């Protein structure tokens, strides 16, 4: 895993990984034959698992660094949460107005926004309270909730230890294996619309907590790096290969879980899926140097990773438009792939323009600072020597 820097520089490899995950998400949200291979390319693991753990890792690493430097840990967290919430509202606005009101008379879009069209006032209020989450708009609410509870998690970890925090998180994950979020929130209010998204909050928080702990641990061990025992690395490789061959049907025998399919269910982060992801995580840490070399040709995708919040928000709206149109028209696979390429190209160009604007603003600020310094030096040089 890349070494955290004591400076505020970004870890380029993580930006590239997030860019790759975003591209994979965009591919998966366009229905077609390609989804069989792209939805879970490394086993029973999707891009979402990587996104949540990476986000928790980055926040844990930054918090550990600031704690070491004696700085406030979460002074910028509220601003970040507010930015994510505004992005969520923007996505909701586009979906409700364009898809709900503008295209809601078409059957595919009517299915997507049915609760909004049926109970507009309640749906809008519930969506603002994060209780109603339309399709593809359930990721940002999770981020908001996880980031809001991060100071509490960090406080518990520093007062007690990370082991009790992991135990509590694992207990919530276990509870989620048998209970739904709608069941938990259903009695909040009779006039609020409770329709939680696909991801179970209490299950997926485990990845966030693991990421926080991993980030803090990595910062503390930054001089030595994370050491993975050889036996654990070997076991992780075997486990990852097993799930990959099972997922891609490369085994000489077929494994059919039957009624126990829920053991690999994505939305509750089921046990076998969690095991698959943890095995891949160990492999990624153990062979981080090798993977950094593999990532180099994809450096251009770091632009997407650096603007992942806005990129995902825009994609959520475009993805729903494309998914509804494809269901309505049922075009051939080549047309679906063309639309997918156009979407990726548009999002990448948009992120590139954001990057250019940011660099231009930074350059302008730097030039202004340099000009001010030169003017100050000139004024000092003009003053008589009083020594």
> Is 9's pLDDT higher than 60?
no
pTM of structure? 0.86
Q: Which residue has the higher pLDDT, 366 or 173?
A: 173
207 lies in a domain? yes
328 lies in a domain? no
Please give the Cα distance from 203 to 191 (Å, whole number): 27
341 lies in a domain? no
pLDDT digits (tens, 9 = 90+) for 266-276: 999 999 999 99
pLDDT digits (tens, 9 = 90+) for 108-148: 888 888 888 888 888 899 999 999 998 888 999 999 999 99
242 lies in a domain? yes
- The set of long-range contacts for 84-87, using a CB threshold of 8 Å and a minimum separation of 24, is 84/140, 84/143, 84/144, 84/147, 84/309, 85/140, 85/144, 87/140, 87/309, 87/310, 87/313
174 lies in a domain? yes
Going by pLDDT thresholds of 50, 70 and 90, the confidence category of residue 210 is very high
Quote the domain boundaries for residue 282: 42-301
> Is 180's pLDDT higher than 80?
yes
DSSP, res 143: H
Number of domains the chain is built from: 1
**pLDDT at residue 312 in the model:** 86
Q: Which residue carries 């600031």 as its tokens?
A: 66
**pLDDT at residue 71 in the model:** 75
5 lies in a domain? no
pLDDT digits (tens, 9 = 90+) for 18-66: 999 999 999 998 888 888 888 899 999 999 999 999 999 999 988 888 8
Please give the Cα distance from 154 to 184 (Å, whole number): 25
pLDDT digits (tens, 9 = 90+) for 73-83: 777 888 889 98
For the segment 4-19, the average pLDDT, to the nearest whole number, is 71
pLDDT digits (tens, 9 = 90+) for 273-287: 999 999 999 999 999
Half-sphere exposure of 142 (CA within 13 A, CB side): 27
106 lies in a domain? yes
Q: Are 286 and 233 in contact (CB under 8 A)?
A: yes
227 lies in a domain? yes
**pLDDT at residue 387 in the model:** 34
- Measure Cα distances from 169 to 50, 156, 164, 172, 331 in Å: 18, 12, 9, 5, 44
């Amino acid at each position: 895993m890349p070494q955290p820097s004591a400076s505020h520089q970004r870890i380029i490899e993580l930006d590239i990984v997030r860019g790759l995950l975003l591209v994979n998400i965009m591919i998966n949200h366009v229905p077609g034959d390609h989804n069989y291979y792209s939805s879970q390319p490394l086993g029973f693991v999707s891009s979402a698992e990587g996104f949540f753990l990476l986000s928790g890792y980055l926040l844990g690493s930054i918090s550990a660094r600031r704690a070491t430097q004696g700085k406030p840990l979460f002074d910028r967290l509220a601003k970040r949460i507010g930015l994510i919430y505004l992005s969520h509202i923007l996505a909701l606005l586009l979906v409700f107005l364009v898809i709900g009101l503008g295209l809601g008379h078409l059957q595919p879009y009517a299915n997507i926004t049915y609760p909004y069209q049926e109970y507009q006032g309640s749906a809008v209020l519930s969506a603002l309270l994060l209780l109603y989450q339309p399709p593809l708009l359930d990721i940002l609410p999770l981020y908001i909730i996880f980031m809001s509870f991060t100071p509490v998690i960090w406080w518990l970890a520093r007062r007690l230890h990370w082991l009790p925090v992991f135990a509590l998180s694992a207990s919530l994950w276990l509870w989620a294996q048998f209970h739904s979020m709608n069941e938990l929130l259903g009695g909040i209010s009779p006039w609020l619309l409770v329709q939680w998204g696909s991801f179970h909050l209490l299950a997926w928080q485990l990845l966030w907590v693991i990421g926080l702990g991993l980030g803090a641990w990595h910062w503390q061990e930054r001089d030595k790096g994370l050491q993975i025992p050889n036996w654990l690395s070997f076991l992780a490789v075997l486990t990852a290969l097993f799930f990959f061959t099972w997922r891609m049907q490369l085994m000489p025998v077929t494994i059919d879980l039957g009624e126990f399919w829920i053991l690999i269910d994505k939305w509750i982060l089921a046990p076998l899926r969690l095991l698959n992801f943890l095995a891949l995580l160990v492999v990624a840490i153990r062979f981080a140097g090798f993977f950094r070399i593999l990532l180099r040709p994809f450096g251009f995708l770091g632009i997407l990773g650096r603007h992942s919040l806005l990129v995902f928000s825009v994609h959520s709206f475009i993805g729903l438009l494309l998914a509804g149109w494809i269901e309505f028209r049922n075009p051939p696979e080549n047309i679906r792939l063309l639309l997918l390429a156009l979407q990726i190209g548009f999002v990448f160009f948009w992120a590139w323009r954001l990057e250019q604007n940011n660099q231009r603003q930074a350059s302008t600020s730097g030039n202004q600072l340099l000009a001010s310094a030169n003017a100050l030096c000139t004024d000092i040089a003009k003053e008589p020597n009083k020594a």
